[in-house]
Chain A
Amino acid sequence: MYFNIQRYSTHDGDGIRSILFLKGCSLACSWCQNPESRSAKRSLLFDQRLCVKECNACQKETGAITRSSQDEIVINRTAITEHTLDRLETSCPTQALTVCGEKAYEDDLCDALLRDKPFYIESNGGVTFSGGEPLMQPELVANVAARMHQEGINTAIETCMHAPWKNIEQVLPFVDCWLTDLKHTDPQKFQDWTKGSFARIKSNFQQLAKHGKRIVIRVPVVPGFNDTEKELYEIIDFALSLETCSEIHLLPYHTLGMNKYNLLDMPYHCSDKPLNNPDLLANAQRYAENHPLSAQKLTVTIRG
């Protein structure tokens, strides 16, 4: 299952890229700005602002959607079946109600991704797998990535590394660049904020580093979670311990996807303000550059 192909993406890897967003994630980070990617199944998004009062197209498809006396649409999400979603896919004329997620057919995905091949080739760009967590669909990633390699197109993956090693192993030969999240190095805090196991991630990192692939570590810097010097320094120390990692990106927390929680009827627990702490990021950058182990030249990029 995938939910989007984003073309002319210029901020996730080298050159001009297309990003394939796969659905389903193995973590549940509270700051996630792509909440529609979390479920491995299709998701139903509803935007009240686009809904037209006089319309009842969706209600004709299912009893799980009703109009309240205040003219508001009420969705009984537990009663929405896969069959209902099929019907809802083409029912809402204004796109107030949209079904997110489509079945992934490898051939179709490859065709779609190859449409921008000339741009990849000219710019040394390529295809990036993202999500969700792409490593939850290792076979799809491996097959599509292999096809891209056959076409001479480079590949990258954006992953939280929270997946069984065998999944990583499966895609390893076909992925050139690993854009890996490292959110925290304290197992308990990691568990509290992401519902995942740091031990597994750590071990994956150590194994991956042995394979000589390019690793870029990406750190979402989130208020209240890891926005202290101590926590960022520990992450940098960890990155330095990996022999094939020479790049770190610090990504200040933003809230651009916050409204999507509303559309999904999901609660939002993270801060509603973007991170605004340029000194912290600059200090971390300095720390990495002056680190005694930095002989292996760790570059730190700060991105807004």
Chain B
Amino acid sequence: MNLNYLAKRIIDHKHQLINILTPSVCTERAQTYTKVYQENEHKPVVVQRALALQEHLRTRTIWIKHDELIIGNQASKVRAAPIFPEYTVRWLEAEIDDLADRPGAGFAVSEEDKENIHKLTPYWRGKTVQDRCYGLFTDEQQELLASTIIKAEGNMTSGDAHLAVDNEKILRIGLNGLIDEVRGHRAKIDLADFEDLKREQFLKSVEIVLLAVQQHIVRYAELAEKMATQETREERSQELQTIATNCRLIVFNKPESFWQALQLCYFVQLVLQIESNGHSVSFGRMDQYLHRFYKQDVKTDKTLSREFALELLQSCWLKLLEVNKIRSGAHSKASAGSPLYQNVTIGGQNLAADGTASDAVNSLSWAILESCGQLRSTQPNLSVRYHQGLNQEFLMACIDVIKCGFGMPAFNNDQIVIPEFIKLGVEKHDAYNYSAIGCIETAVPGKWGYRCTGMSFINFARILLASLDEGRDATSGKVFLASDKSLAKGNFKHFDEIMTAWSEQIRYFTRKSIEIDCVVDSVLEQQVQDIFCSSLVDDCLSRGKTAKEGGAKYDWVSGLQVGIANLGNSLSAIKHLVFDQPQITQPELAQALASNYATSEGELLRQRLLNFAPKYGNDDDSVDQLITLAYNAYIDELAKFHNTRFGRGPIGGEYYAGTSSISANVPFGAATMATPDGRKAGTPLAEGASPSSGSDTLGPTAVYNSVAKMPVNKILGGVLLNQKLTPAAVESEGDMVKLSMLIRTFFNHHKGWHVQYNIVSRDTLLAAKANPESYRDLVVRVAGYSAFFTALSPDAQDDIIARTEHNL
């Protein structure tokens, strides 16, 4: 591997992209969708959507720029964010005029764009997903959402996504093959049958869309041909010609070369993100399904040099970086750095027909790893599937890439994911084919419905505060579920009563979050069918159903919990300092919390809470068990519920827990008052399943031991562990070997779910915060994903700086 090389065109392209500080918005999609919806109001929504996508693909601006090798643009301008009015126009109308000034997530909106947007939004009022959700919510649900203890904004202002479609299949049968399959199903439709009538609307829509996608690729072929004739540089002209030829072939047929295969995958990826603004659209196991093409071209026929193959991959990665999404101001904070979480998974194991598993690392796994290490971008989000037999050389190469400091690759562990999936009911060969989705969550590509994580977020820390004060939310003062116990009254008789209060509150909020999911899911199902996406998820076509209607073979989802470590550390402080070896009274603690530890007395009490009670992340059973106990109340409650697809086709249809909190720990912390772990009001909560910043003082082995005590096998939405290392910790070969052993032990012995490393020195981060212009290319791990550091808001930057740095 040579991690210090990048082809000139790639350097230039990357440079162009990372220096777009306030991208524009693109109104083309919004305008076309509005027009087509209006013209077709009498048709079923699914057909309206097919026609809208068809028209948009037919008319939208397309371009080929930056001497790119993989083509396809999401918006009319580079990195512009398209508008998806059918999901929401509410925040758009309110915020569109001030979008340029948002910290860390600004957009440049021209007067013309504003006018276009203001012209079309009135049509959508009352028709959007968000508005219809509010039409269904009870008063209580609305109040809960307004309080932000439960957050579901991301779910009702965008599509679902969070899945990988069946790229392997489209490469195998080509677009014509897929269209034939649709036609085959349509031929069997009986229009005298009520259910079939519904199915027909979906299948007809799929056919419209697939034909539209073909036409779209033809447009790119024509553009490339035209540009080839005008191009003065001979070499580029030939490239454009090849691009055109490739497009002409994959319009109908299955690809024959690596370049064609990659281009087809990118077109699929692109249209998925034009059809819907859901994010975490992932590629699945790209090193597996593209390997036969790579091997044939690079190894066997030698028609493609390895260097050029890497350039193709990097060209594709930069195209992923061009895809953009605009979120409301509030929602942007939870997704710091406006990431799209487009995951590529490599490594893992393959299952042979005789049932034996073998290491799946191949020559393309190496090429993908190297291409990402050279590029050091935020996209794709690269995950490596670890297993005991993972080639040590490959693991060391991963550490080499980690050393580059952009937070990738992250690791998922086959040894927990596969057996737990099988226990759930996933078929063995499917379980072995799982991939990471988005950040750290996992699902079976092309067979699993949306949002294996990514449902509602719940703020654990605020719910704990409510448990300590008669059910009163400390931030809003509202009581959702009243109780008669409070610290202020000092009427908790013993610590168990605190746990009981927590359990009552968390069960209530869990139920409410599912109720909210239920509303959102039902509206998404009826209003914003993903047609193209469903056509590439088994068994949507044969069932004649979208994924949201229960078309997917598997369908488990999970919500996200924020503030897990704060919950545990707070309980630990209360147990030790208020009950077991009492040195603080209940009212004293209540008073200190209410005053946000004001006065020197409050500060000294806070210091006691910080220093005299065990903290999660230090391998201390007393606190680690409290976390598990508290978390189990949530897991137990959650297991009682189903999602809206239960019993409608998929295996599963249930919920499990997940901790991939993205960067929501920052805005959630901002809305959380002081907590008994000594955390002050408004400061970030702990992220994922990681310890609170600065509270893990015994190094990584202790952290791993603590994390492993969590009920990992029940948190199948992912157990996110983010560790920050100093560059010195991986300086020598010996250090790197020891890090590899650390990873191996965590996965082989502790059955850890996931780990990722951020290797950037504190000094570099501070310098980058002070002089952003010199650090535009600095990529850091935020949560389950990486972002450009200078693109983060100042508070998200501070949170990253504050995370514990382990000097191994």
Give A residues with C-beta under 8 Å from B: 6-8, 10, 15-16, 52-55, 57, 90, 93-95, 115-116, 118-119, 121-123, 125
Contacts and interface: CB of A to CB of B under 8 A. Distances in A.
B699 interface: yes
B701 A93 contact: no
A304 to B, nearest CB: 9
B744 to A, nearest CB: 5
Nearest to B704: A119
B230 interface: no
B604 A10 contact: no
Given A7-B701, A54-B600, A93 B738 contact: no
Interface residues of B, number: 28
A72 B700 CA distance: 37
A15 B612 contact: no
26 contacts: A6-B699, A7-B698, A7-B701, A8-B700, A8-B702, A8-B806, A15-B738, A15-B741, A16-B738, A16-B742, A52-B600, A52-B603, A53-B600, A90-B612, A93-B607, A94-B604, A95-B607, A95-B611, A115-B705, A116-B705, A122-B744, A122-B745, A122-B748, A122-B749, A123-B741, A123-B742
B699 A7 contact: yes
Closest 7 CB pairs of A and B: A123-B741, A54-B600, A118-B749, A93-B607, A8-B699, A122-B745, A93-B608
Interface string B592-614: 00000000110111011001100
B619 to A, nearest CB: 6
Interface in B263-305: none
A47 to B, nearest CB: 13
Contacts of B619: 115
Contacts of A118: 745, 748-750
Interface string B441-462: 0000000000000000000000
Nearest to B748: A122
A123 B748 contact: no
Nearest to B703: A8
A116 to B, nearest CB: 5
A121 B698 CA distance: 19
Contact of A54 (B604, B745, B748, B749): B604
Nearest to B740: A123
Interface in B774-794: none
Contact of B701 (A8, A52, A54, A94): A8
B744 A93 contact: no
Contacts of A121: 745
Q: Which of A10, A52, A57 has the most CB of B within 10 A?
A: A10
B355 interface: no
Contacts of B601: 54
Given A8-B699, A10-B808, A115-B705, A123 B604 contact: no
B808 A8 contact: yes
Given A119-B701, A125-B741, 14 more contacts: A7-B698, A7-B699, A7-B701, A7-B702, A8-B700, A10-B735, A16-B745, A53-B600, A55-B600, A115-B705, A118-B748, A121-B745, A122-B741, A122-B749
Contacts of B701: 7-8, 16, 115-116, 119
B19 to A, nearest CB: 38
Contacts of A122: 741, 744-745, 748-749
B477 interface: no
Nearest to A122: B745
Given A7-B701, A94-B611, A52 B604 contact: yes
A211 B71 CA distance: 70
Contacts of A116: 701, 705
A93 to B, nearest CB: 4
Contacts of A15: 738, 741
B699 to A, nearest CB: 4
A36 to B, nearest CB: 17
Contacts of B738: 10, 15-16, 123
A41 to B, nearest CB: 23
A7 B699 CA distance: 6
Given A8-B700, A122-B749, A93 B611 contact: yes
Nearest to B738: A10
Contacts of A125: 741
Interface string B697-737: 01111100100000000000000000000000000001100
A10 B791 CA distance: 35
Nearest to A17: B738
Contacts of B748: 118, 122
A10 B601 CA distance: 41
A69 to B, nearest CB: 19
A57 B749 CA distance: 44
Given A118-B750, A123-B738, A93 B745 contact: no
A95 B748 CA distance: 37
B604 A16 contact: no
Nearest to B705: A115
A16 B739 CA distance: 9
A102 B806 CA distance: 25
A303 to B, nearest CB: 9
Contacts of A119: 701, 741-742, 745
A10 B734 contact: yes
A54 B604 CA distance: 9
A222 B738 CA distance: 29
Q: Which of A52, A53, A54, A122 gathers the greatest number of chain B CB atoms within 10 Å?
A: A122
Given A7-B698, A8-B808, A115-B619, A123 B745 contact: yes
A88 B484 CA distance: 39
Contact of A8 (B605, B742, B744, B749): B742
A54 B738 CA distance: 46
A10 B728 CA distance: 12
A93 B705 CA distance: 27
A116 B604 CA distance: 34
Nearest to B739: A10
Nearest to B731: A304
A90 B701 CA distance: 27
Contacts of A95: 607, 611
Contacts of B741: 15-16, 119, 122-123, 125
Contacts of A55: 600, 604
Contacts of A6: 699
A117 to B, nearest CB: 9
B376 to A, nearest CB: 26
